[in-house]
Amino acid sequence: MLGAFFEIIGIVILFSSVLLLAPIFSGCFVLMFILILLSGLLIFFSIHILWIIVLGVFLYLTNLIVRYYKWYKLPTFNTYLNNNPDNNLHNIACKFCHFGKPINMGLFSKKSKYRYYMCKICGKALYRFTVL
Ligand SMILES: [Zn+2]
């Protein structure tokens, strides 16, 4: 009996708060605002489609360059071995978490010429190499 009473009170409070938070005026205003924003974006995109394509290509190229630069900053295999003396040719481990089996990754695609080894556990790139 008491539970049902609280349920009804809860529903009344919920509905009244929804009504209070969304009076007709501001609800309409928000809807109008979203519509204006969306149509504005649509017009903007159709007018500036060329610039958006240019921007997209620019961002894509920047991404490629940043990726290549990060890859280039990685140590080579020999440097990695020299810097981490506990590693040897048969036992390469991650220098951050010491997990044993790094995975071979391509930089730009799976078959990319520029490759690196990445730790499976902590996800950090360890060293780079290039396929001839
Ligand atoms: Zn690791």
pLDDT in tens, 99-129: 888 999 999 888 999 999 999 999 999 999 9
94 alpha carbon to ligand 1 midpoint, in Å?
A: 5
27 confidence band (pLDDT: 50, 70, 90)? low
**Two tokens at 8?**
């009804």
Burial bucket for residue 117 (CB in 10 Å: 0-12, 13-18, 19+): buried
CA 66 to ligand 1 center in whole angstroms = 22
Has residue 24 got a pLDDT over 70?
A: no
- The rounded Å distance from CA 89 to ligand 1 centre is 18
Which position has the token pair 């394509």? 53
Rounded Cα distance, 78 and 128, in Å: 10
List pLDDT tens digits, range 70-88.
999 999 999 999 998 888 8
What's the CA dihedral at 53, 56, 62, 63 to 10 degrees? -150
Residue labelled with tokens 């921007």: 55
> 63: CA distance to ligand 1 center in Å?
24
**How distant, in Å, are the alpha carbons of 39, 56, 92, 123, 131 from that of 63?**
30, 10, 29, 19, 22
Q: Ligand 1 centre from 8 Cα, in Å?
A: 55
Domain ranges of the chain: 29-73, 74-132
The closest of 130, 122, 120 to 76, measured between CA atoms, is 130
Lowest mean pLDDT among 53-62, 73-82, 86-95: 86-95
| Structure-token match 């590693």, residue found | 87
CA of residue 88 to ligand 1 center, whole Å: 17
